[in-house]
Amino acid sequence: MAKYPLVATFCLLSGFFPIRSEALLLAEGGKSHYAIVVSASASPSEDHAARELQHFLKEIAGVELPLITDRDPRQQYEVLVGNSRRVEELNLSIDWNSLGDEGYVIRTEGDRLLLAGGKKRGTLYAVYAFLEETLGCRWFTPDVSRIPKQERVEFETLNIPNIPRFEYRAVGWISASDPDWAARNKVNSAPLDEQRGGSLSIVGGVHNFHSVVPPNRYFEQHPEYYPLVNGKRVYQNAQLCLTNSDVIRIAAEEMKRRLRDNPGAKLIGLGQEDWGGWCECEECKAIIDREESPSGLLIHFLNQVAARIEGEFPDTALITLAYQVTRKPPKNLKPHRNVIPWVCGIECCYSHPISNCELNRSFVKDLADWAALTDRVYIFDYTANFEHYVMPHPNLRVLQPNFQLFAKDHVRGVYASGNTGPGSELGELRGYLIAKLLWNPDADADAIRREFMEGYYGRAAEPLEKYLALMHDKVERENIHCSIVAGPRMPYLAPDMVEKAKALFDEAEELADNDAIRERVKVARLPIQHVELEWTKPSYRYESGSYKPELKPGAAELAKTFVEVADRHGVTQIFEMYGPKPPSWHLEQQELWKQEWPAIRLENDSLRVDLVPGWGGRVTSIFDKNKDWEFLLPGQPDGREYPLSGGIEEYSERGGRTPGWQQEYEFDIEAPGRKARMWAELPNGLKFERTVELSQTAAIMTLRSKLTNVSKDSRNACLRCNPKFQMGPTEQVTASFTTLGGQNRSIPLTVATGKSREALHLLGEDRPNGGWLAINSTLGLSLRHQFDTTEVQTCTLDWLPSRSRFFMELQSPEKTLAPGEAITLTQQIEVQSGEALDTPTDQGRSDSLNLHRKR
């Protein structure tokens, strides 16, 4: 540590201070008797804390206090920064061990001021807390702060101990990547050097099974390291075989290697990939069944890895995501003392406090159940809209009650995931407010918000506060649920709400104190402009062999304004889901909207079927002329992929939206009005062919799909067909079928209280025996979906009442195709009156298609 020169004349300064009674006078009139004292063996952060105190006191009081060490002569007036010999001489009863790395004490003792805490970050936080809470400093953003000038720096007796509620505080918002801002606002997971306390970061990421046991290194020789899925060892879109002893050994050795490369690390990630594919081998399945959740298998694996590494790294914890299917904790199995479940609420509603919303009941239970198993739980909190970073997201009022809930349930760390770049709705406010609440969940959140708004927006704050109230009041008054993928056509973003918001932003721009603040207001307006642009998406109509857009006036000019402001302020990303998109996406979309798309119409007396080859070879419409009903859900304009959405889309691999759904297909009309073929070569080396045929007389459409490996190497292929149906409110719809095992099933498409969506995955003998039926008796609508059971491995029924839609998805077995080899999937969709189709029988099937059923 650097030695501080003792100013020789310091003790001889004229005694302008009176003898202190109660208040401590630190500086007056640009003068001070005080010196700042640190230990000669101070840690880097304690050294930095002393310099930060010196710097800001000079800004506040116009005087630079000398820096000395505890080896220099004792002064009458001292600010003691960190524990030192000088502090020990005072014989204070301070339990330094209880303060840990980050706890601190702010205390006056006679003519001395003590700012001290844990050597890692505690003393640094004591200095910032004193500057903030006693002297009124604020660091709103890296560029905007409030350092109040004071002629007289005086304060009453202080005795303030403080230990943070959460040991891990991560803020995924714009300001937090700045080391000084993060340190000053007590965020400890930012990229911080040792001077700023170091970072409590996670080594190695979290969706990392495949980087720990790489398939390209091991799969060919050791397929047993990877999951058994549907009777076959696979690695694509799959996890690991977590009971395999070699996998445990390899994972433990890799954890040790990474920790040796990161000395001092306290957290290292080891966890599931961001997809399904859990192992179904006898050993893995037994643990899942016993613990009633895949999390049991995950914790079983992690416990063994933790036991293997704790000898060398006793103070380092493995952290793993309790995410989607693993969010439900094991029934009995407790995590090892060095295993931390990182509970993810990706499914939650975030416009209501988690504890008060019916949609969040299962999350609240899961969190409480984890807390019953371990006293060290972390939370992965979603504080942004990841489908639309740049969109109003009325969740500010739930931050505090959510953090308070976490603090009660053994939660020791929180990552508030957001948008780390500029442009999100008041992202600077969100980062600041979250940082304050992570340190103290019981702080006055409203006061923090108001103070930030006034400090950052000046006179423009008042209309912007009204804008926030407008959005939040709407969702509260009408009980609107907002997920992390809420779209721009949510009720709180209706045209009248957007117009009110625009008026408030106009007022804010008028009130802005200067051009810099006016620019901040323009950035804050981007989310409303984003919504306006999303509302300009055209609808399409079929006309003379084309799908033609119905364009909205003024959209191109608005897109230009949006991009100019966004580019001026470094906005780089307006979406996350399905790949990041820059602001220029809006200009690109305006050009896309102008485009007309070749379309094919097949038609008989009963049905009208539309195909758009350029939209992923999509079937966009199955219209029943007799019922005047569209059976396919159209593309939804609030989806980012629009118009490549809705209808029937197909994929070429397992998991997610793999190639096939968005490519432009070539086409050939083989029989006008009756039959068309579409095809495309995909980026994964497969060729997708799709033939759609309409019966001459019946209300039956046949869809034949084929995937061929046209590359020179082997390729994994899986045909997945996802038809999105609409038959009125889903609670009026019942799906029925006979299983391959002979069981008759009838499934009302309703959802349980507290859930917004349901899904049923059918495999093996539980699959429908060649077809399933959907009926809405209230509206007199029926739809039969038939297929060849030898071509289908998995059937998925998925329904979402808020959109009045349901999927009846078919998935073929995954197969490794040699060059030139192909797989096929054939299916029929038939619509009739509700009375005619009341049981899943062979009646009404097209004679032209011989579909295989188990007899």
Give pLDDT tens digits for 208-267: 999 999 999 999 999 999 999 989 999 988 999 999 999 999 999 999 999 999 999 999
Task: State the pLDDT at residue 577.
Answer: 63
Amino acid at 188: N
Task: Please give the average per-residue pLDDT across 800-808, as a whole number.
Answer: 94
Question: Which residues are registered as beta bridge partners of 775?
Answer: 734, 782
Tell whether the model's pLDDT for residue 31 goes beyond 80: yes
pLDDT digits (tens, 9 = 90+) for 145-198: 999 999 999 999 999 999 999 999 999 999 999 999 999 999 999 889 999 999
Confidence class of residue 14 from pLDDT cuts 50, 70 and 90? very low
pLDDT value, residue 579: 66
Mean pLDDT of all residues in the chain?
93
Buried b (16+ CB within 10 A) or exposed e, 752-777: eeeeeebeeebeeeebbbbbbbbbbe
Given a cut of 50, whether residue 843 has pLDDT beyond it is no
Would you state the pLDDT for residue 2?
A: 41
pLDDT of residue 654: 86
- Token code pair at residue 254: 């890799």
For 573-615, what is each residue's pLDDT tens digit?
998 766 678 999 999 999 988 999 999 999 999 999 999 999 9
Q: Is 485 exposed, middle or buried (0-12, 13-18, 19+ CB in 10 A)?
A: middle
490-523 b/e (C-beta count within 10 Å ≥ 16 → b): bebbeeebbeebeebbebbbebbeeeebbebbbb
| pLDDT tier, 406 (very low <50, low <70, confident <90, very high otherwise) | very high
As annotated, the residues of the chain forming the CATH 3.30.379.10 domain(s) are 10-163
Q: 599-833: which CATH topology?
A: Beta-galactosidase; Chain A, domain 5 (2.70.98)
Mean of the pLDDT values across residues 639-647? 88
Q: In this model, does residue 339 exceed pLDDT 90?
A: yes
DSSP secondary structure code for residue 304 in this structure: H
pLDDT at 846: 35
How much is the average pLDDT of 725-752?
Answer: 96
Give me the helices (H) in 233-340, please: 245-261, 282-291, 294-309
In which band, very low, low, confident or very high, does the pLDDT at 622 lie, cut at 50, 70 and 90? Answer: very high
pLDDT in tens, 381-395: 999 999 899 999 999
Is residue 29 packed enough to be buried (19+ CB in 10 Å), middle (13-18) or exposed (0-12)? Answer: exposed
Question: In this predicted model, what pLDDT tens digit does every residue of 368-381 receive, in sequence order?
Answer: 999 999 999 999 99
- pLDDT tens digits, residue range 108-137? 999 999 999 999 999 999 999 999 999 999
- Which CATH number is associated with domain 10-163? 3.30.379.10
Residue 640 has pLDDT above 50, yes or no: yes
pLDDT on residue 381: 97
pLDDT of residue 656: 80
Least confident range from 571-575, 629-633, 661-665: namely 571-575
Is the pLDDT at 6 greater than 80? The verdict is: no
DSSP string, 177-242: GSHHHHHHTT--SSS--GGGT---PEET-SS-HHHHS-HHHHTTT-GGGS-EETTEE--TT----T
- The whole-number pLDDT of residue 12 equals 27
Over the stretch 688-712, which tens digit does the pLDDT of each residue have?
A: 999 999 999 999 999 999 999 999 9
Q: What percent of the chain has pLDDT over 90?
A: 88
Rounded Cα gap, residues 54 and 540, in angstroms: 66
Query: Would you state the pLDDT for residue 432?
Result: 98
- pLDDT tens by residue, 739-767: 999 999 999 999 987 778 899 999 899 99
Predicted TM-score (pTM) of this structure: 0.87
The confidence score (pLDDT) of residue 848 equals 37
The CATH 2.70.98.10 domain(s) of the chain lie at 599-833
pLDDT at 25: 97
